[in-house]
Amino acid sequence: MAVLTILRYPDPRLHQLAKPVEKFDERLRTLVSDMAETMYAAPGVGLAATQVDVHERLIVIDVSDTKDKLQVFVNPEILGASDDAKVYEEGCLSVPGFYEEVERPDRVRVRACDEHGKAFEVDADGLLAVCLQHEIDHLNGRVFVQYLSRLKQSRIRSKLLKSEREVA
Ligand code: QAP
Ligand code: CO
């Protein structure tokens, strides 16, 4: 088990398109457990492989209060989304300290595989629906700040670049 390094916006690697997972092997299961450990350590509710610089279609999510309900989505696909949308205040482990309102479909139906290659489908609403859409965006190279105005994006970008310089 290992806590992995999380890429920070505006790292260009956050905009890479992730490739489908082809082999459901021990390497994949080690990555799943390292990503789960990384998410719980943060702490966060969701993490996409892209955020740990692995450009494969894999997400871990735990939206439970007790933090004991890990959900693994390999090669997730959005099959359908509700017409009605909802605004949610989102954050991101790759954009630490920033929370902004984003509007997305209220409910989504997602098909994925677990870490053993077994296919399943979920009808998600509430936080799980937001989280699935946010994390699938990461796999497609999209960070939630890209839904904000150019002005907000550039403010967030320069504040994070400045805090990186201060740490160095
Ligand atoms: C994505 O985000 C998400 O800024 C997961 O300083 C967020 O786990 C989906 C976090 C909101 C739905 C709603 C953020 C931790 C965690 C921070 C996260 C921070 C520390 C974000
Ligand atoms: Co994120």
Q: What is the mean pLDDT of the chain?
A: 97
Residue 153's pLDDT band (cuts 50, 70, 90): very high
Residue 160 maps to a domain: yes
Q: How many domains does the chain have?
A: 1
Q: Decide if pLDDT at 114 tops 90.
A: yes
Residue 4 lies in a domain: no
Q: Once rounded to an integer, what is the mean pLDDT over residues 133-157?
A: 98
- Would the CB of 131 count as within 6 Å of ligand 1? yes
Residue 168 has pLDDT above 80, yes or no: no
| Cα 94 to averaged position of ligand 1 atoms, centre (Å) | 8
Contact 100, 20 (CB under 8 A): no
For residue 103, give the DSSP letter.
E
- Distance from Cα 156 to the centre of ligand 2, integer Å: 14
Give the residue from 40, 134, 120 showing the smallest Cα distance to 86. 134
> What is the C-alpha to C-alpha distance for residues 85 and 154, in angstroms, rounded to an integer?
26
Q: Whose CA is nearest to atom 9 of ligand 1?
A: 131
Name the residue type at position 97: G
Q: What does the alpha-carbon distance between residue 85 and residue 8 come to, in Å, rounded to a whole number? A: 28
Q: What is the pLDDT of residues 65-78, one digit of tens each?
A: 999 999 999 999 99
Ligand lying nearest the CA atom of residue 46: 1
Give the mean model confidence (pLDDT) for residues 118-141.
98
Q: In terms of residue numbers, what domain contains 138?
A: 12-167
pTM of the complete model = 0.98
Residue 135 among the catalytic residues? yes
Q: How confident is the model at residue 1 (pLDDT cuts 50, 70, 90)?
A: confident
Report residue 167's pLDDT band, with 50, 70 and 90 as the boundaries.
Answer: confident
Neighbours of ion ligand 2 (CB under 5 A): 92
Identify whether 105 is part of a domain: yes
Q: Specify the long-range contacts of residues 146-149, CB closer than 8 Å, at least 24 apart.
A: 147/102, 147/103, 148/100, 148/102
Which CATH number belongs to the domain containing residue 100 in this structure? 3.90.45.10
The answer to whether residue 6 sits within a structural domain is no
- Asked if residue 88 belongs to a domain, the reply is yes
In a domain, 1, yes or no: no
* Helix/strand/coil for 56: strand
Q: Over 90: is that where the pLDDT of 121 sits?
A: yes
Within 10 Å of residue 21's Cβ, how many Cβ atoms? 18
The H or E element spanning position 36 is helix 26-41
Catalytic residue among 90, 100, 115, 135: 135
In a domain, 2, yes or no: no
